[in-house]
Homo-oligomer: A and B are copies of this chain.
């Protein structure tokens, strides 16, 4: 029986994931800067120094949390975007996928919301800016296609609409609690209903 993991690629990824989840939770609750490395360690039942056996630095932890989340997000998004759906269906699928990601990575999303803007300035987090751009291209493109196809209204400023939809979806991470009343899909359904048809009663 051959040894697996001949090289110590990453020793015990399970423990690593646990610690990342713990850290993400604390970062999300208190903010990255306000979180001490000791607080994370406390929460994980170890001493502050012990974290450095698993990670390079506090920033490294943050990095791994965010990049892991973005990787998974884009996996989902890319699948949707490659499916060749119409603009409305694409928006629906993207929104639904987004709420699913919020469900799975609530803490990471909350951190992303709060910190990505000023983080993106640092070279290490350059991928945040890159992702942001790709994100914009995907959503904005779909909206434009929808306007061209006369599926979406043409009397609205499209960039405003983009920001509106984008923010609407992601801010949800700030109040969403997994295991609550609504499934991600149910929330997506209601959000889409509001965004697409409005909250006013039709005459």
Contact = CB atoms under 8 A, between A and B. Distances in A.
Interface string A152-166: 110111001101110
B150 A201 contact: yes
Identical copies of this chain, number: 4
A198 B201 contact: no
Interface in A95-131: 114-115, 117-118
A167 interface: yes
Given A164-B168, A200-B152, A194 B195 contact: yes
A199 interface: yes
Given A153-B201, A194-B198, A201-B152, A167 B171 contact: yes
Contacts of A114: 31, 114
B163 A199 contact: no
Contact of A157 (B30, B165, B182): B182
Contacts of A168: 164, 167-168, 171
Given A29-B118, A167-B171, A199 B160 contact: no
Contacts of A190: 156-157, 160
A38 to B, nearest CB: 12
A2 to B, nearest CB: 22
Given A31-B31, A164-B168, A182-B157, A196 B200 contact: yes
Given A151-B201, A163-B172, 7 more contacts: A31-B118, A33-B33, A88-B200, A152-B200, A157-B190, A167-B172, A167-B174
8 contacts: A31-B115, A33-B33, A153-B199, A157-B182, A160-B187, A160-B191, A167-B168, A196-B199
Interface of A: 29-31, 33-34, 88, 114-115, 117-118, 150-153, 155-157, 160-161, 163-165, 167-168, 171-172, 174-175, 182, 187, 190-191, 193-202
